[in-house]
A = this chain, B = another copy of it.
Amino acid sequence: MKIALDAMGGDFAPQAAVAGAVLAAQRLAGKAQVVLIGSEAEIRSLLFEHGPSATTLEVVPASQVIEMGEHPTKAFQQKQDSSIAVGYRLLHSGEVDAFCSAGNTGAMLVGAMFTVKAVPGVLRPAIANFVPKVGGGMGIMVDVGANADCKPEMLEQFGELGSLYAQYVLGIARPKVGLMSLGEEEGKGSAVTQAAHQLLKVNPHVHFIGNIEGRDLFNDKADVIVCDGFTGNVILKMAESMYDIMVARQLNDAYFEKLNYETVGGSPILGINDNAIIGHGVSTPLAICNMLMQGYQMAQSGIVDQIKDTFKS
């Protein structure tokens, strides 16, 4: 099995990316190989600094880089030899089993849609993120930014996609699916969430537990939190900032430490025909390493085949 990394993606690339890849390669030894994509000279020189064993890592050259500020679609189309474009080509051709990048999020989404494409039946792929539960374990929130405006049917599918991920990657037998709203009662919510509630209620693929509220994010009510990408993005960034404020104020706590993006690694794109993960722009080597580990787990789980099966009908 091969897990590829965009070595040029992220604010501290290629240094942080290469260092993270070296860490992951050690952890995955005997199970999977890490493939680095980007400027071969730069990557080889950095690998050399990490010692003899690091120099054995596979490098696939890519001469271009999509910068953080670039327009995703334009950049992806024009920079065909960018690390993101090359990564998706390797993924699509089956040369690698997962592709991870802490680079331009939009370009990662565009690349997914242009190359590996959405699973037939999936209206719109979504980005998932993990939510540590106070009582232990992890929940998953879908969508956290790919789709600002959602139709009820999209929210319904986010519930299905999240539920499959919770089952096959997180190992939760019968994931509880909750719909983020502004009240527990069925009739509460926006027009879209009210309609999505009715769809989820009768969907045979999910164990729908009804509406949840902002206060339920970290408790055990739901394993899968369904929301539009606008709400999910606000939630995600707000949680991150509260963690940052706690760190700045020297409040150390084992639970809140789980909100540290470094320990999670990245956000999988769900609903595409392959395993792609988007990392945080400020990714450190540890975050990169954890993103690659997550890519391995995702590839290992066969989640994409499960999604294809579910949406086939």
**What is the chain B residue whose CB lies nearest that of A238?**
B214
Contact B214–A237 (Cβ < 8 Å): yes
Contact B217–A182 (Cβ < 8 Å): no
Verify if A249 is at the interface (C-beta below 8 Å from B).
yes
Q: Which residues of B have CB within 8 Å of A215?
A: 237-238, 240-241, 244
How far in angstroms is the closest Cβ of chain B from A123? 17
**Dominant secondary structure of chain A at its interface with chain B:** helix
Q: Which residues of B have CB within 8 Å of A256?
A: 245-246, 249, 251
Q: Which residues of B have CB within 8 Å of A180?
A: 234
Which positions in A face B, CB cutoff 8 Å? 134, 145, 148-149, 180-182, 188-191, 193, 213-219, 227-231, 233-242, 244-246, 248-249, 251, 253, 255-256
Q: Which residues of B have CB within 8 Å of A249?
A: 253, 255-256
Contact A231–B230 (Cβ < 8 Å): yes
**22 chain-A/chain-B pairs, Cβ below 8 angstroms:** A134-B245, A148-B188, A149-B190, A182-B233, A214-B233, A214-B238, A215-B244, A216-B241, A217-B238, A218-B242, A219-B241, A231-B231, A231-B234, A234-B235, A235-B238, A238-B239, A245-B256, A246-B251, A246-B253, A249-B256, A251-B253, A251-B256
Copies in the complex: 2
Contact A218–B234 (Cβ < 8 Å): no
**What is the chain B residue whose CB lies nearest that of A191?**
B149
Choose from B148, B182, B242 the contact partner of A230 (Cβ within 8 Å): B182
Which 3 pairs, one residue from A and one from B, show the smallest C-beta to C-beta distance?
A214-B237, A214-B238, A182-B233
Contact B235–A214 (Cβ < 8 Å): yes
Q: Which residues of B have CB within 8 Å of A145?
A: 182
How far in angstroms is the closest Cβ of chain B from A244? 8
Known contacts A217-B241, A246-B251, then 17 further A-B pairs from the complex at CB < 8 Å, ordered by chain A residue: A148-B188, A148-B189, A148-B191, A148-B193, A181-B230, A213-B237, A214-B236, A214-B237, A214-B239, A215-B237, A215-B238, A216-B241, A231-B231, A231-B234, A234-B234, A242-B242, A246-B253
Q: Which residues of B have CB within 8 Å of A219?
A: 241
Cα–Cα, bound, A148→B145 (Å): 19
**Which of A215, A216, A228 has the largest count of B CB atoms less than 10 A from its CB?**
A215
**What is the chain B residue whose CB lies nearest that of A259?**
B242
Q: Which residues of B have CB within 8 Å of A148?
A: 182, 188-191, 193
**Which of A213, A230, A251 has the largest count of B CB atoms less than 10 A from its CB?**
A230
How far in angstroms is the closest Cβ of chain B from A191? 5
How far in angstroms is the closest Cβ of chain B from A158? 16
Cα–Cα, bound, A253→B246 (Å): 9
Cα–Cα, bound, A235→B214 (Å): 6
